[in-house]
Amino acid sequence: MAEKKRKLETPVDDVAAAEPEGKKAKRESKKEGKKEKKEKKRKEKDADAVNEVEETKVKEKKEKKEKKEKKDKEEKKEKKNKEEKKEKKDKKEKKAKKSKDVTDEDEEKPAEKTNGADAPEPEVSQDTPDAMDIDGEVEVKDEKSGKEKKKKDKKAKKEKKQKEQDQEQGKQQTEENAEQESSQPAPKQKAARFIVFVGNLPYSANTESLTAHFEKIQPISVRVATQPDKPTKCRGFGFVEFDNYDRMKTCLKLYHHSSFDDGKYPPRRINVELTAGGGGKSEHRKAKIEYKNQKLTEERKRQGQELQTEKVKKHKAEEAPGDDYANIHPSRRPRMA
């Protein structure tokens, strides 16, 4: 019985030992499968990235080609239009020359006739003409007069046709010119710019500190002039631009001689004056700026005088003795006594 029990126990141990080995194999196979999947995903991502780069390159090439083709088409159209205009002008000039040549020929022919009349007549034989000869001469004269009339009628018709053609051409030219003028856009007028010059700035001033100083008026752009060698160092002045006249006026009125404090240098009084846009040192621009600032100084003087007069009036009113009946009409004051 003991031997049988031993025989039965041995396969159970073998099975128990074999089971963990199978689990390990399964785990390893799963890990390998996961690794393979990850590698596949990485490869697919790399391939997708490469494809996207290639697609972007292809798109850029296509866009460049399309732009070039558009430019070529536009240039061809412009050339064609120019050539057509030249051909039209050449045709008109040729027609005008032809009409002039025809009129010159018509003028030359009657002159030749008059010259022929002045020419010496052929010598007539002294023999007396017969009756038949006289009749023949009369018939020849009648034929000549009829031919001359026909020629004159033809010339008059030609001249009428030429006049009508010239009138039609003139109308066509005026219509074409009107169309061209209508098609061409009207020249745009330069929009007015409202720029202010700011002077007496410290060397530490920059666009941020200047925008913070004029923050309440909401400027469009702020530019600070810097030194070419040291772009961070201010040259002591700048420019502030606004979108309308009212804000520029308030800036000139309230911020002139205001204290600018950026925290780096002690606060100082800045000058706010008018300037002209565009830049440059031309005499016209300088004269324009001087004229504007001259008006501005006159207005500031007037405002200063008005403020002084108001202060004097207030001071006098304060110094004057108090009157109990100040607010009562003079006609009623005796009744109050």
Read off the DSSP letter of residue 256: T
Residue 161 contacts residue 169 (beta carbons within 8 Å): no
- Residue found under tokens 């666009």: 207
The domain boundary, picked from 78, 107, 136, lies at 107
Q: Which domain holds residue 265?
A: 194-317
The domain boundary, picked from 55, 88, 107, lies at 107
Residue 218 contacts residue 247 (beta carbons within 8 Å): yes
Q: Taking Cα atoms as reference points, which of 211, 200, 196 lies closest to residue 266?
A: 200
Say if residue 126's pLDDT is above 60: no
Q: Which residue has the higher pLDDT, 28 or 134?
A: 28
The pLDDT value recorded for residue 295 is: 81
Quote the number of domains for the chain. Answer: 2
Return the CATH number at 308: 3.30.70.330
The domain boundary, picked from 107, 134, 166, lies at 107
pTM tops 0.75, yes or no: no
Q: Which residue has the higher pLDDT, 20 or 202?
A: 202
**Of 11-15, 80-84, 248-252, which gets the smallest average pLDDT?**
11-15
Q: Which two tokens stand for residue 143?
A: 């034929």
- Chain segment 224-249, per-residue pLDDT in tens: 999 999 888 999 999 999 999 999 99
Q: How would residue 34 be classed by pLDDT, with cut points 50, 70 and 90?
A: confident
The pLDDT value recorded for residue 114 is: 47
Amino acid letter, residue 177: N
Read off the DSSP letter of residue 215: G
DSSP 231-259: TTSEEEEEEEEESSHHHHHHHHHHSTTPE
Q: Evaluate whether residue 29 is within a structural domain.
A: no
- Chain segment 175-223, per-residue pLDDT in tens: 777 666 656 554 555 678 889 999 999 999 999 999 999 999 999 999 9
Say if residue 119's pLDDT is above 80: no
Return mean pLDDT, the chain. Answer: 77
Taking the C-alpha atoms of residue 300 and residue 71, their distance in angstroms, rounded to an integer, is: 57
Q: Evaluate whether residue 334 is within a structural domain.
A: no
Q: Is there a single domain that holds both residue 200 and residue 295?
A: yes
Per DSSP, the three-state class of 182 is helix
Taking the C-alpha atoms of residue 242 and residue 134, their distance in angstroms, rounded to an integer, is: 105
Dihedral class, residue 242 (left if φ above 0, else alpha if ψ from -120 to 50, else beta): beta
Q: Taking Cα atoms as reference points, which of 277, 124, 281, 268 lies closest to residue 197?
A: 277
Q: Evaluate whether residue 295 is within a structural domain.
A: yes
The pLDDT value recorded for residue 128 is: 47
Say if residue 11's pLDDT is above 80: no
List, in sequence order, every residue forming a beta bridge with 195; answer none if it has no partner.
Answer: 241
Q: Evaluate whether residue 182 is within a structural domain.
A: no
Q: How would residue 136 be classed by pLDDT, with cut points 50, 70 and 90?
A: low
Q: Evaluate whether residue 212 is within a structural domain.
A: yes
- Chain segment 269-316, per-residue pLDDT in tens: 999 998 876 666 777 777 777 888 888 888 888 888 888 888 888 877
Q: Evaluate whether residue 154 is within a structural domain.
A: no
**Of 36-40, 111-115, 203-207, 264-268, which gets the smallest average pLDDT?**
111-115
Say if residue 105's pLDDT is above 60: yes
